[in-house]
A and B are shown apart, each in its own frame.
Chain A
């Protein structure tokens, strides 16, 4: 019997591509783990803990917070102001992210898909500018644009005295956020459209398909994954966006008080840190649900392919 190189019996050892060994590999991981733990996991757990207390910014409860169980949650769900705020947030996400940013971003990307040269660079430059400017600068610009008496928009339209921020606060912040965030969607879709095979579009054109039919039959099936990823990201970002506070401060009469603004007002202006933490946790759960829905849709797409 020849003693050859027989396979070693038993479970094969875990592949160790870097050749570090378990101990040294752990050494590389620990710093990152510690940072994540200290700055991400602990605050999150702390928020959850605060959510079940009556912790306040000042006063007796600041010194000796008491655990109140789910009182904060029942109070929030019963609170008219919370429910209105949630509704406004959904409007904000749907209007400015899904319809505004994704829709406009795709439209610009599609219109510019075959263009090269100065026009494309100009449009991209302007769209990107709104994305890279600091929020405080942008907020000042928009207040200047929409001001009742000396606003640029009113001057352009020739209707001085229209108080956009007072009469249409939600519309104002939806348009503002669309303007602010379109760049990301535009760039993502521009990259996605590059991946649509030219021959597929041309096959549709040869069959006589209209632009709409080409979009439906060729473009969207190809970029479906990009669309879902884009919607996932911008929905979450918009849901948690605080910039509208800089323009309307949630007013007037809480008519543009989206959830991040509401939490800020309750927790920091109102001092009810425990209640604010509870609402933050609710927001976290909603974000999780949004993410899960999109990820499920993405997963289904992969199975179908």
Chain B
């Protein structure tokens, strides 16, 4: 019973910075939950407010059945692993792991036993008498995890758990962390700015911007159907193509081409309406010869990503009256929300940035062996069911917003 429920949670720092803005969020019992966003979006503040290290300016936090809004951190029954691991350098690994137990006045023998047991689970058995300075980064992280586990808290909070590891170790630690969380089944919230990490680890993700949550959903939902252009631009190792479009009967006029309307949006748009067409580079197929229902343009950049290449094409912007839309915020998500214009989505979405007036850039992922050369003319076809339409920055969709999943084990979290 350790679901976390936040209601209208607000944090205003002295000086008037509103880090959390009346935020509502439910995290189910046993869930592995990611808080994702660019720096300054409030994700770390949210984590620290759950921990009790920041005092909420308004709203409430509940862990399980308890309202912990005004409890000090030591009485919330949560454990946190910091980005720098915060291991005490003057204590041995054993003493570090046993530290929370020592504060809870567990007697010396049983806390040494408990520390040894936890260390065994995490593969630290031979290192108990070492000092943190004598350990590698990955081992230090596991000691920090062991210290968090040793006192069996209701909730784990991880602040950027993988960012202090080098690239190779990071993948290993990611798998390890996911497996550990699954075995322990403890509600875990982690903060990251790396969308790939969030997609790989989390059961559900909350994408944050400017102290608000822009979308909550499973990695699949967030990746396939970003609820707004901000999320669309933020999620995915290659950001989504966002191109100005206009409804034309049963079809969509995009970059002087005609594409079929996405299924979802068919009955929700009006003829002549201006929208933003979104499709991921991974969901586009490149062709060197003319195809129907394709965007066409000149290949300008080919980036090798290993097994695939990322190809950028310059395609003509939409029909002339769309191209001379007001500049600057013109972008398709110009008035998406309070922050439209400075998120990653905004820069990419603006149809006529970068490539000069009357042109827009489309990126497509091409499998190895069939890469074009810069200067070639290419055609790209969106795969059916994978393109999206955004109106004022928000997804045009029939699907209802996703709810909170049932807890993985035990009783329902919602009271």
Binding site for B on A (CB under 8 A): 197, 199-200, 202-209, 213, 217-218, 221, 304-305
- For B147, the chain A residues whose CB sits under 8 A away are 203
Q: Is the CB of A206 within 8 A of B88?
A: no
Q: Is the CB of B103 within 8 A of A209?
A: yes
Q: Is the CB of B104 within 8 A of A208?
A: yes
* Total CB contacts across the A-B interface at under 8 A: 59
**How close is A206's CB to chain B, nearest CB, in angstroms?**
5
- B36 CB within 8 Å of chain A: no
- For A213, the chain B residues whose CB sits under 8 A away are 103
**How close is A110's CB to chain B, nearest CB, in angstroms?**
19
- For A206, the chain B residues whose CB sits under 8 A away are 51-53, 73-74, 78-80, 100
- Classify the interface of chain A: helix, strand, loop or mixed: helix
Would A200 and B103 be within 8 Å (CB), given that A206-B73, A206-B79, A207-B74 are in contact?
no
**How close is A217's CB to chain B, nearest CB, in angstroms?**
7
Q: Which residue of A lies closest to B74 (CB)?
A: A208
Once the chains are docked, how many angstroms separate the CA of A197 from the CA of B89?
11
Q: Is the CB of B73 within 8 A of A205?
A: yes
- B90 CB within 8 Å of chain A: yes
Q: Is the CB of B90 within 8 A of A221?
A: yes
Q: List 28 A-B contacts (CB under 8 A).
A: A199-B84, A199-B86, A200-B86, A202-B80, A202-B82, A203-B80, A203-B82, A204-B99, A204-B103, A205-B53, A206-B51, A206-B53, A206-B78, A207-B99, A207-B100, A207-B103, A208-B74, A208-B75, A208-B100, A208-B103, A209-B103, A213-B103, A217-B88, A217-B99, A221-B88, A221-B90, A304-B90, A305-B133
- B151 CB within 8 Å of chain A: yes
**How close is A99's CB to chain B, nearest CB, in angstroms?**
25
Q: Which of A200, A202, A205, A304 contacts B88 (CB 8 A)?
A: A200
- For A204, the chain B residues whose CB sits under 8 A away are 99, 103
Q: Is the CB of A205 within 8 A of B74?
A: yes
- For B133, the chain A residues whose CB sits under 8 A away are 305
Would A209 and B82 be within 8 Å (CB), given that A217-B88, A305-B89, A305-B133 are in contact?
no
Interface residue total, chain B, C-beta cutoff 8 A: 24
Q: Which residue of B lies closest to A218 (CB)?
A: B88
Once the chains are docked, how many angstroms separate the CA of A200 from the CA of B88?
7
**How close is A49's CB to chain B, nearest CB, in angstroms?**
48
- B83 CB within 8 Å of chain A: yes
- For B103, the chain A residues whose CB sits under 8 A away are 204, 207-209, 213
- B328 CB within 8 Å of chain A: no
Q: Which of B74, B79, B83 contacts A199 (CB 8 A)?
A: B83
Once the chains are docked, how many angstroms separate the CA of A206 from the CA of B103?
10
- B385 CB within 8 Å of chain A: no
**How close is B349's CB to chain A, nearest CB, in angstroms?**
37
Q: Which residue of A lies closest to B96 (CB)?
A: A203
Once the chains are docked, how many angstroms separate the CA of A97 from the CA of B136?
42
- For A218, the chain B residues whose CB sits under 8 A away are 88
- B290 CB within 8 Å of chain A: no
**How close is B80's CB to chain A, nearest CB, in angstroms?**
5
- B72 CB within 8 Å of chain A: yes
Residues in B141-195 with C-beta less than 8 Å from chain A: 147, 151
- For A205, the chain B residues whose CB sits under 8 A away are 53, 72-74
**How close is A222's CB to chain B, nearest CB, in angstroms?**
8
Q: Is the CB of A199 within 8 A of B82?
A: yes
Once the chains are docked, how many angstroms separate the CA of A199 from the CA of B86?
6
Q: Which residue of A lies closest to B100 (CB)?
A: A207
**How close is B345's CB to chain A, nearest CB, in angstroms?**
32
- For A221, the chain B residues whose CB sits under 8 A away are 88-90
Once the chains are docked, how many angstroms separate the CA of A44 from the CA of B91?
45
Q: Binary interface profile of B, 312-331, with partner A (CB < 8 Å = 1, else 0)?
A: 00000000000000000000
- For B88, the chain A residues whose CB sits under 8 A away are 200, 217-218, 221
Once the chains are docked, how many angstroms separate the CA of A206 from the CA of B151?
11
**How close is B79's CB to chain A, nearest CB, in angstroms?**
6
**How close is A227's CB to chain B, nearest CB, in angstroms?**
14
Q: Which of A203, A208, A209, A305 contacts B86 (CB 8 A)?
A: A203
- For A197, the chain B residues whose CB sits under 8 A away are 84, 86
Q: Which of A199, A202, A304, A305 contacts B73 (CB 8 A)?
A: A202
Q: Known contacts A217-B99, A304-B90; can you find 5 more A-B pairs with CB under 8 A? A: A200-B86, A202-B86, A204-B103, A213-B103, A218-B88
Once the chains are docked, how many angstroms separate the CA of A209 from the CA of B74?
7
Once the chains are docked, how many angstroms separate the CA of A221 from the CA of B147?
19
Q: Is the CB of B53 within 8 A of A207?
A: no
- For B82, the chain A residues whose CB sits under 8 A away are 199, 202-203
- For B100, the chain A residues whose CB sits under 8 A away are 206-208
Once the chains are docked, how many angstroms separate the CA of A290 from the CA of B261?
86
Q: Is the CB of A202 within 8 A of B53?
A: yes
Would A207 and B151 be within 8 Å (CB), given that A202-B73, A305-B133 are in contact?
yes
